[in-house]
A and B are shown apart, each in its own frame.
Chain A
Amino acid sequence: MLEIALMISLSLIVMAMAMNVFRLAKGPDVPDRLLALDTLYVNSIALIVLLGLWLNTKTYFEAAILIAMLGFVGTMAICRYLLRGDIIE
């Protein structure tokens, strides 16, 4: 039962990441691409957690929390650059 649920979840998240990449390539404006990148890193955290469940190890949670923190910082930096024209004033 767990194997089937893991396969379903992995396929759904891979399809979600494919849709994010499509919006990242298509997006008509800069905030659309930024939103696509933001969703892409959130989905990659889910993918890494599912990989840790698949391989039955706890090694990947540090990678997941690093991706979470650095993705948030990167999104805020690009937002501030688009809003103010400068990141650190």
Chain B
Amino acid sequence: MNLYLLAEAVVAFLLVAGGIFAFTGSLGMLQFKDFFMRLHGPTKGTTLGIGCTLIASMLYFTVTQGEFHVQELLITLFLFITAPVTGHMLAKTGLHMHLRFTTGTRGSVPEFRDEDVGQSRVARPAKARHPWRSRRQKRRGRLPR
């Protein structure tokens, strides 16, 4: 009886924690200002939340039905493997499409530099600039190149 109460408490805690983590991940995706910031919430928070929910379900069915369940563990492992791959591909897509990002971050990312090495020799790689501003200047034809 006491063991069942303990298992119920653990399942309830994992359910609430999973809901809170999934809610936090989606809230981060809704509230952040930038695509590269918005990528942080679902790839970490939501994955951890659904891992908590699936482990709670596995524990519940293991306790109530008396036999060990591995289907939820399978889904958990699959999601934990595929979530970083999806995040990596989404970040590559964002870098490829030159999405705009908020300024104020320190340092320059090499992916944000201009790729003009193949066109003309440069002494050192160009500094990072805003892709949207440079795109707007290109459209107006005022880029000194």
Contact = CB atoms under 8 A, between A and B. Distances in A.
Interface string B11-32: 1110110111011011101100
Which size class do A's interface residues fall under? 35 or more
Nearest to B64: A56
A43 B73 CA distance: 17
Interface stretch (B91-99, B107-115, B122-130): B91-99
Contacts of A11: 19
Given A8-B19, A36-B29, A52 B57 contact: yes
Contacts of B11: 2, 5
Which size class do B's interface residues fall under? 35 or more
Interface of chain B, main secondary structure: helix
A19 B27 contact: yes
Nearest to B36: A31
Interface of B: 8-9, 11-13, 15-16, 18-20, 22-23, 25-27, 29-30, 35, 38-39, 41-42, 46-47, 49-50, 53-54, 56-57, 60-61, 64, 69, 71-72, 74-75, 78-79, 82-83, 85-86, 89-90, 92-94, 96-97, 99
List the 3 closest pairs (A to B, CB-CB), nearest first: A12-B19, A9-B19, A5-B12
18 contacts: A15-B23, A16-B22, A20-B29, A29-B97, A29-B99, A31-B35, A31-B94, A31-B99, A42-B79, A45-B50, A49-B57, A50-B15, A58-B61, A69-B78, A72-B82, A79-B89, A79-B93, A83-B89
